[in-house]
């Protein structure tokens, strides 16, 4: 759990808690004209499920930066990595439902985790209020120096893993994350034994891949693209229905004979369960305005992402649909995690 040790940050957080519901009312336009200048200047805390430098960290900071010119609202990103995002969810659960705190996290916290953990520690329906989508992206699987240079495509890698089961270790940002599930589906379909290595986010996994500590890594393609360009790793497949705009030379899983492996990772904003519907609606409107800004689209494109916003209702519908999809996948692959 990240400790907020910076004195100025601590003072800002204390002011945030005292300001309560009036702080984000200024951001969302609720009774904006009646609020004091001091209230409008106070900061919104965005809890983040990933460490500094990760995809969720980038999303949280980029959206937060767009809130400032739109609403005069500063956003302080509070990174709570670890336990595949569970630490950040528990921090949101303990936060007041006054519009002063949001969580930016992967969709799996609401779609996958209810079926993954026997003791989840939170109720996705009661403790998480969907506010807005933020971004979505394809995933990629990459190999590093631990895999021979003549492994040039997905079929080559599966064959190598079959011949070298003790070395077929594949990393992901955590148990039950979409990258983990994608790897599980791939190797189950191929009938190949493998070992899953969970990291507390994308950057530690990339370091392990570059250092030859793991054979392969599944991550959002944006985190792999820069290393692919430098030829330090080889991205073998991406998870969209066709080739990626960002990695056009890499064939998709579908193109390489795995028609079911179409997976989109997405990130969204959530509010504490006690937040009123009016406040959630106002938060969503402010976030949709920020996410629609062309500057944000350009920033996300550099990371291999697409900016996507939504209403609370449409995000709730997407969560319900993906719960129906992922539950049988977890059962079929025997994936379970301890809380």
Share of the chain above pLDDT 90, in %: 68
In a domain, 69, yes or no: yes
In a domain, 338, yes or no: no
Q: What is the pLDDT of residue 338?
A: 59
Last residue of a domain, one of 256, 277, 295: 256
Bin 189: left if φ > 0, else alpha if -120 < ψ < 50, else beta: alpha
In a domain, 63, yes or no: yes
In a shared domain, residues 131 and 275? yes
| Tokens encoding 156 | 């080559």
Domain CATH number, residue 172: 3.40.190.10
Q: What is the pLDDT of residue 1?
A: 37
Q: Is the Cα dihedral 188, 236, 324, 176 positive or negative? A: positive
Pairwise CA distance, residues 268 & 59, whole Å: 9
Q: What is the pLDDT of residue 143?
A: 98
pLDDT in tens, 293-321: 999 999 999 889 999 999 999 999 999 99
**pLDDT above 60 for 11:** no
Pairwise CA distance, residues 39 & 327, whole Å: 44
Q: Within its chain, how far is the Cα of 72 from the centroid?
A: 26
In a domain, 2, yes or no: no
In a domain, 142, yes or no: yes
User: Does the predicted TM-score (pTM) go above 0.95?
Assistant: no
Contact between residue 131 and residue 314 where contact means Cβ atoms under 8 Å apart: no
In a shared domain, residues 13 and 133? yes
**pLDDT above 80 for 184:** yes
Average pLDDT over residues 147-164: 97
In a domain, 118, yes or no: yes
Last residue of a domain, one of 195, 230, 256: 256
In a shared domain, residues 250 and 180? yes
In a shared domain, residues 149 and 63? no
In a shared domain, residues 97 and 152? no
Contact between residue 332 and residue 188 where contact means Cβ atoms under 8 Å apart: yes
125 pLDDT band (50/70/90 cuts)?
A: very high
223 pLDDT band (50/70/90 cuts)?
A: confident
In a shared domain, residues 127 and 142? no
**pLDDT above 70 for 16:** no
In a shared domain, residues 153 and 118? no
In a shared domain, residues 39 and 105? yes
3-state secondary structure of 253: coil
**pLDDT above 80 for 190:** yes
Pairwise CA distance, residues 63 & 55, whole Å: 12
130 pLDDT band (50/70/90 cuts)?
A: very high
Pairwise CA distance, residues 30 & 225, whole Å: 41
3-state secondary structure of 158: helix
Q: Where are the alpha helices (DSSP H) in 178-276?
A: 178-190, 202-210, 221-229
pLDDT in tens, 20-35: 333 333 333 333 222 2
In a domain, 98, yes or no: yes
In a shared domain, residues 70 and 116? yes
Average pLDDT, the chain: 86
Alpha-carbon distances, residue 339 vs 43, 146, 214 (angstroms): 32, 32, 25
pLDDT in tens, 37-46: 333 447 899 9
Q: Which residue has the higher pLDDT, 175 or 267?
A: 267
In a shared domain, residues 142 and 132? no
Q: Which residue has the higher pLDDT, 193 or 34?
A: 193
In a domain, 297, yes or no: yes
84 pLDDT band (50/70/90 cuts)?
A: confident
Give me the domain span that covers residue 243: 138-256
Q: What is the pLDDT of residue 3?
A: 35
Last residue of a domain, one of 222, 256, 290: 256
Most confident of 90-104, 188-202, 221-235: 90-104
E strand or H helix at 74: strand 74-79
In a shared domain, residues 147 and 157? yes
Contact between residue 177 and residue 108 where contact means Cβ atoms under 8 Å apart: yes
Domain CATH number, residue 310: 3.40.190.150
pLDDT in tens, 230-276: 889 999 999 999 999 999 999 999 999 999 899 999 999 999 999 99
Q: What is the pLDDT of residue 120?
A: 86
Total structural domains in the chain? 2
| Tokens encoding 139 | 């995933």
In a shared domain, residues 249 and 271? no
Share of the chain above pLDDT 70, in %: 87
């Amino acid at each position: 759990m990240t400790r907020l040790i910076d004195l100025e940050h601590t003072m800002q957080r204390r002011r945030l808690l005292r300001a309560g519901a009036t702080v984000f009312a200024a951001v969302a336009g609720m009774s904006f004209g009646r609020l004091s200048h001091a209230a409008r200047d106070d900061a919104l805390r965005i809890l983040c499920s990933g460490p500094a430098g990760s995809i969720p960290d980038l999303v949280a900071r980029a959206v937060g930066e767009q809130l400032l010119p739109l609403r005069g609202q500063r956003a302080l990103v509070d990174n709570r990595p670890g336990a595949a995002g569970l630490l950040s969810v528990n921090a949101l659960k303990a936060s007041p439902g006054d519009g002063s705190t949001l969580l930016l996290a992967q969709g799996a916290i609401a779609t996958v985790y209810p079926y993954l953990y026997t003791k989840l520690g939170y109720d996705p329906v009661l403790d998480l209020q969907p506010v807005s989508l933020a971004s979505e992206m394809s995933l990629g699987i990459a190999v590093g120096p631990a895999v021979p240079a003549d492994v040039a495509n997905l079929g080559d890698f599966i064959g190598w893993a079959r011949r070298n089961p003790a070395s077929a270790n594949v990393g992901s940002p955590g148990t039950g994350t979409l990258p983990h599930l994608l790897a599980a589906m791939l190797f189950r379909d191929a009938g190949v034994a493998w070992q899953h290595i969970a990291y507390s986010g994308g950057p530690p996994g990339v370091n392990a891949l570059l250092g030859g500590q793991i054979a392969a890594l599944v991550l959002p393609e944006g985190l792999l693209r820069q290393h692919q360009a430098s030829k330090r790793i080889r991205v073998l497949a991406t998870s969209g229905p066709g080739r990626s705009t960002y990695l056009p030379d890499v064939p998709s899983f579908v193109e390489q004979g795995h028609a079911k492996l179409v997976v989109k990772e997405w990130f969204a904003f959530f509010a504490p369960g006690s937040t009123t519907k009016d406040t959630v609606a106002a938060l969503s409107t402010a976030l949709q305005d920020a996410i629609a800004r062309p500057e944000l689209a350009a920033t996300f494109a550099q990371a291999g992402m697409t900016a996507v916003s939504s209403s609370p209702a449409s995000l709730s519908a997407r969560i319900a649909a993906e719960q129906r999809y992922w539950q049988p996948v977890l059962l079929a692959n025997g994936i379970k995690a301890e809380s």
